Amino acid sequence: MKNGASLASTVPGRSRISQKVAVGVVYVAVMVMTLMDVTIVNVALPSIGRDFSVKPTSVGTVTIAYLVSLAVFIPASGWLGDRFGGKRVLLCATAVFTAASALCGAATSLPQIAAFRILQGAGGGMLVPVGMAMLYRVFPPEERVRAIAFLTIPMATAPAVGPIVGGLLVTELSWPWVFYVNIPIGLAALLFGVAFVEHSVQSKPGRFDLPGFLLAGVGLGLVMYGMSEGPNVGWSSVDVLAAVASGIVLLAAMVVVELRTHAPIVALKLFENRLFRYGNLVLLVVSIAGLGVTFISVLYFQDGRGLSPLQSGLSSFPSAVGGLVGAQTCSRVLYPRLGPRRLTAAGIGDMAVSIALMAMLGAHTSLWWARVFLFVMGFGMGTASVAGQAATFATISAADTSRATTLFHALRQLGGAIGVALFTTCVVLVGASHRVGGHVTVNFTAYRITFLAAAATGLCGAIVALRIDDAAAAKTIVDRRRSQPPAATSATPAAVEL
């Protein structure tokens, strides 16, 4: 942040403000909205179902409609950002997301909410990738570790705070407020962005790749739908099997088409970059294991231990605190000394060990042990995410940044869905309950086996992390105690590309 003043706007009549600060503020705001949205809305689903007199299985369309829409529109985000400028797309997407949130709160039927959630997903699918691309153009590689650590705050806290805020809003007010809470955040981000974020357009983004967009969007959307529904209705369901199979076929066709396209909307050739390839693979595993376990721990607290949604949210919150501590420790102390390879592997290893220890949790285990394990898991996630993300984009050029962030977020979104589906299915297959002495009781063996499976998944990610090349990511490794980053003039061109 020290060089921020040199990047201040010099437009007449406009207050001088660093583009690092301007883009960072807007990005944090949209991250809070989008990451908190799913968890906060899930808490309200039973209330929505009761108000509209629909079955509990039907109300899940509120979440599924959003996730599928999100997956469909993510592939287009990179091209749109390059073609129309990051500022325009980011602020338009923010306006769409905010307006759709208001419409969801005012809806008078479940189909209306589902339709407005599709609109909300269209905005959300563009918000984070475009915002991240803008951010990486403002911050040069040697400053990104600190920036990522700061931005990990909303990434770690928003999903954990969601159930707590959702529980309070539903209990004290009513379910529409889980949507209305986005309005002040969205409006503030919109007004701030209009006033302070600068505009520019990437040169020659190419023609819009319609075949690639349709294959990637529909394919990813079908897979996300199947992953979301599979654990609920069963993997033998014809609809689920058809959705997943069709999605995989479309994604396979997308790979063939995009590798032959001159200007693909999904830039798969970026995976020829070794650092980008292994970084994405590692963070995919982090999403699968970390987000999957976060969801399973909620099931353990609520279904296994009988906690309320609010109590469950408070018990899960230590993972967010651990993520914050891990991210800050990584950026300030560990990353300059250890580099991304060892630090990412150690962070995922820490995750795996803490998740494995959660297999010891039973019916009467002190909840403080669960909170300690979740804190340690969060610490590992925060460390691995900061180190891995800094390395992933270390050698990506400014011209490729938009499409690189599109790929990154598509994989993270898919990873989270796979994690939740995989480990929920594990609990279901083992049996979340069993009969003991003629009484149906919770089967904690299902949770133990699931936590061990997640730990094994994490260990695979730690092994892959050892393939990260520290030398290739050398620009991101800056020991601020001994040296200063390059002069501001070297970062100025990146800032102009906003």
Please spell the DSSP secondary structure of 40-66, one letter per residue.
HHHHHHHHHHHHHT--TTTTTHHHHHH
**Arch. (CATH architecture) of 13-208+265-496:** Up-down Bundle (1.20)
Domain positions in the chain are 13-208+265-496, 209-264
3-state secondary structure of 433: strand
Q: Give 442's strand partners.
A: 433
How far apart are the C-alpha atoms of 49 and 105, rounded to whole Å?
Answer: 14
Convert 350-369 to b/e letters by CB count within 10 Å (16 or more is b): bbbbbbbbbbebeeeeeeee
Please list, in sequence order, all residues whose beta carbon lies within 8 angstroms of the beta carbon of residue 427, skipping any fewer than 6 positions away.
296, 299, 446, 447, 450
Residues 167/389, Cβ–Cβ less than 8 Å = no
The rounded distance, in Å, linking the Cα atoms of 388 and 82 is: 25
Residue type, 309: P
- Res. 252: pLDDT tops 90: yes
> Looking at the predicted structure, is the pLDDT value of residue 494 above 90?
no
Instruction: Name the residue with tokens 């001159």.
Output: 262
- For residues 54 and 240, the model is more confident at 240
CB distance 122 to 73 below 8 Å: yes
Name the 3-class secondary structure at 467: coil
| pLDDT, tens digit, 9 for 90 and up, residues 120-158 | 988 888 888 888 888 888 777 777 777 777 777 777 777
Task: Quick: pLDDT tens for 57-107.
Answer: 567 677 778 888 888 888 888 888 888 888 888 899 999 999 999 999 888
109 DSSP 8-state letter: S
pLDDT in tens, 369-416: 999 999 999 899 888 888 888 888 888 887 788 888 888 888 888 888
Q: What is the dihedral of CA 157, 160, 161, 165, to 10 degrees?
A: 160
Whether 113 and 107 have beta carbons less than 8 Å apart is answered as: yes
Amino acid at 298: V
pLDDT of residue 151: 73
DSSP state letter for 261? -
Model confidence, pTM: 0.80
Helix (H, G, I), strand (E, B) or coil at 434: strand
* pLDDT of residue 435 exceeding 70: no
Q: Which residues of 178-210 are buried (b: 16+ CB within 10 A; e: fewer)?
A: bbbbbeebbeebbebbeebbbeebbeebeeebe
pLDDT band at 434 (very low <50, low <70, confident <90, very high): low
